[in-house]
Amino acid sequence: MCGIAGFWAKEMRGAPREVAGAMGDRLHSRGPDDRGVWTDEEAGIALAHRRLAVIDLSPAGHQPMTTPCGRYTLVYNGEIYNHRELRGELEKAGGHFAWRGHSDTETLLAALRHWGLEGALRRLNGMFAFALWDAAERRLFLARDRMGEKPLYFGRSGGAFLFGSELKALAAHPEWRGAVDREALTLYLRHNYIPEPWSIYQGIGKLLPAHYVVIGDEGRAVSEPHCYWDLGAVAAEGTARAAEEPETLTDELEALLADAVGRRMDADVPLGAFLSGGYDSTTVAALMQAQSDRPVKTFSIGFQEAAYNEAEHARAVAGHLGTDHTELYVTPEEARSVIPELPTIWDEPFADSSQIPTYLVSRLARRHVTVSLSGDGGDELFCGYHQYAFGCRLWEKLRWLPLALRQRLASLLQRIPADNLDSLSRRLPRDMRTRFSGDRLLKLAEVLSPETGEAFYRALVSHWKEPAAVVRGAGEPDTLFTDTGRWPRLPGLRERMMYLDALTYLPGDILAKTDRATMAVSLEARVPMLDHRLVELAWRVPTSLKFRNGKGKWLLRQVLYRYVPESLMDRPKMGFEVPVEHWLRGPLREWAEDLLDERRLREEGFFHPAPVRRMWQEHLSGARRWNYHLWDVLMFQAWLRERPATGSPSDRPEPEARPAVGG
């Protein structure tokens, strides 16, 4: 695991080697073990690398790495889990390879040279983002792994083409401009993260998962992204072939999961796993322990608040599996102390508050290991999220009600204060109170009006429903959620939900959260569930074997129950959250008030103050719970305060208007 950066600029201020080195040094936490810079000053190209040594700790794994013939130079971030098989294929193919070591970097470079870009990409099993310079053709290639586990930003700023693992590396270049993209800001308010291919800065984008781009003409010509593995085609073909063979599919899933986990246990450094005690992390830990001749190191954190604490259950699971378990109970003060670090760690606005415990458990694990396996991806592949159950059931009932009636009901619910709704819900029978809490009734009000299932789902996963009316001088661009012409043919709404999440929420939120949190402490995270062979298998599993008896992950659970008793896993899903709602009314109130100050908002010029201030006052009074919406704004404000001033015209306030908007 590493950090990469570079630029292509024929003319520039500063010495290319020093500039590239400074860009790489911004990524020190991604690669504290080694530093490398390569330049071709005549061409104007420079590549930088920071290394976290995991496989082949010797200097033979040093990057940037150049082929013996001198034509290709590579900087690469990630792990190729089938690199040993690829070496065997290369040697059988008759190539003459004088291997210097056993790093996957050397194998990847040889594969790119021998099979070409697309030929190599189709053969790779791994997580990666890389830049390959072809000196003969004077072209630069950027590529990213299939599911988006590793990040890669790129674009033009001033007179230079820039790329890197994180935005902070690009900002070290003297041509950096860094003007905020207001349209991207609207997407951030809707989703609580900035989805691919946007970034928070104008002219800079994220390379889409499973894509590559070709850059030529001294960095001035950038191709349209090329897709080398199409998840839409995988989903469409898989669902068309799906057949209900429970025992056969369980055996196939177990074998493939075991292989994916085993491949990700290959490391020359200490290795462990995150263990929350949920189905996904427990499955990964169980399959690790089954393949290990010693107790696997597992890690979890706990909170004193019972509603947010999963540590006790994780401890019970670890005891059954026989892992070497480490847990840390975190006080609210320790959790809140992380908040000032978030803007620097995430580098662009990011408002999934589970970033806090994710960072804390990563920091805990890094004290003991250099690599940790994660259970991310199981929800999207095996129908695990609550909205796949509750959301689909709700839509099936709502779609038969007249739209006008639904709109009137929404208006009525939105006029009732949250505390009053809670009082009403407490009068319901005990088994109905959770399903009809004040929060859920208000959320219901927000999703009553859509005319289609797809629009309903977009409303269900949106934070701000009209973000373009909150951001000054911006319109909201179309995304995969709104461009239905890009969707594959899938059997129903539940399948479309999983597909959309796998292309948006998974890379934009879940994987970005894991990558930034782990890399901030120099820990490599590996995600077995996102082995592309598993993804392809998951789409061949009928939905009836994923969602059964009102619960998701049925087939995955059948694998897990071969290792862990069902009675140990039978508990409600809690998630990985922190009590932001209460913190904003208590210990974070002064911090939030400063960032949401009306004068500050007006002078900075990004948000219309009125709707933000109204939400803040309603949240403080208890009239409504706006913690998700407010956290979006607060994380942008905290990021804005930390980033260097640019003086860009696009950062200057737009003329104030008075929009009549809500959330």
pLDDT tens, 189-242?
Answer: 999 999 999 999 999 999 999 999 999 998 999 999 999 999 999 999 999 988
How many other CB atoms are found less than 10 A from the CB of residue 561? 14
As a whole number of angstroms, the distance between CA 82 and CA 91 comes to 15
Asked if 121 and 172 sit in the same domain, the reply is yes
| Residue 576 pLDDT | 61
As a whole number of angstroms, the distance between CA 166 and CA 153 comes to 7
Asked if 412 and 320 sit in the same domain, the reply is no
Asked if 512 and 612 sit in the same domain, the reply is no
User: Is the residue at 661 inside a domain?
Assistant: no
pLDDT at 446 over 90: no
Of 569, 600, 617, the domain-final residue:
569
Q: Which residues contact 431 (CB under 8 A, 6 or more apart)?
A: none
Number of domains in the chain: 4
Asked if 57 and 108 sit in the same domain, the reply is yes
* Cα angle for residues 396, 398, 399 (degrees, 5° grid): 70
Q: pLDDT for 352-404, tens place per residue?
A: 999 999 999 999 999 999 999 999 999 999 999 989 998 899 888 888 888 88
DSSP-derived 3-state class of residue 76: strand
- Taking CA atoms, 398 is separated from 191, 407, 460, in Å, by 24, 11, 13
Of 227, 251, 267, the domain-final residue:
227
Cβ proximity of 538 and 381 under 8 Å: yes
User: Is the residue at 575 inside a domain?
Assistant: no
How many other CB atoms are found less than 10 A from the CB of residue 180? 25
Asked if 157 and 213 sit in the same domain, the reply is yes
Burial (0-12, 13-18, 19+ Cβ within 10 Å), 435: exposed
User: Is the residue at 430 inside a domain?
Assistant: yes
Q: How confident is the model at residue 646 (pLDDT cuts 50, 70, 90)?
A: very low
Asked if 493 and 515 sit in the same domain, the reply is no
**How large is the average pLDDT for residues 288-293?**
96
Asked if 641 and 537 sit in the same domain, the reply is no
Range of the domain at 30: 2-227
Asked if 353 and 274 sit in the same domain, the reply is yes
User: Is the residue at 329 inside a domain?
Assistant: yes
Task: Using the Cα atoms of residue 103, residue 105, residue 106 and residue 108 in order, give the sign of their dihedral.
Answer: positive
CATH number at residue 56: 3.60.20.10
User: Is the residue at 185 inside a domain?
Assistant: yes
- Strand-by-strand arrangement of the 34-40 sheet: 34-40, 45-51, 2-8, 160-164, 153-157, 204-206
Of 379, 382, 378, nearest to 541 by C-alpha is 382
Partners of 65 in beta bridges? 74
Asked if 194 and 246 sit in the same domain, the reply is no
Of 525, 542, 569, the domain-final residue:
569
**Beta strand 45-51 with 34-40: parallel, antiparallel or unpaired?**
antiparallel
Q: Which residues contact 648 (CB under 8 A, 6 or more apart)?
A: 177, 178, 179, 180
Q: pLDDT for 41-74, tens place per residue?
A: 999 999 999 999 999 889 999 999 999 999 999 9
DSSP-derived 3-state class of residue 273: strand
As a whole number of angstroms, the distance between CA 310 and CA 274 comes to 12
As a whole number of angstroms, the distance between CA 154 and CA 208 comes to 11
User: Is the residue at 657 inside a domain?
Assistant: no
User: Is the residue at 487 inside a domain?
Assistant: yes
Task: Using the Cα atoms of residue 10, residue 15, residue 21 and residue 27 in order, give the sign of their dihedral.
Answer: negative
Sequence-ordered strand ranges (E) for 489-579: 524-526
Length of the chain: 663
Active centre residues (catalytic):
2
Instruction: Please state the separation of Cα 223 from the chain's center in Å.
Output: 25
Q: How confident is the model at residue 572 (pLDDT cuts 50, 70, 90)?
A: low
Asked if 165 and 70 sit in the same domain, the reply is yes
Asked if 72 and 151 sit in the same domain, the reply is yes
The secondary structure of the chain in percent helix, strand, coil, rounded to multiples of 5, reads: 45, 15, 35
CATH number at residue 240: 3.40.50.620
User: Is the residue at 574 inside a domain?
Assistant: no
**How large is the average pLDDT for residues 486-493?**
92
Asked if 514 and 417 sit in the same domain, the reply is no
Under DSSP, the state recorded for 161 is: E
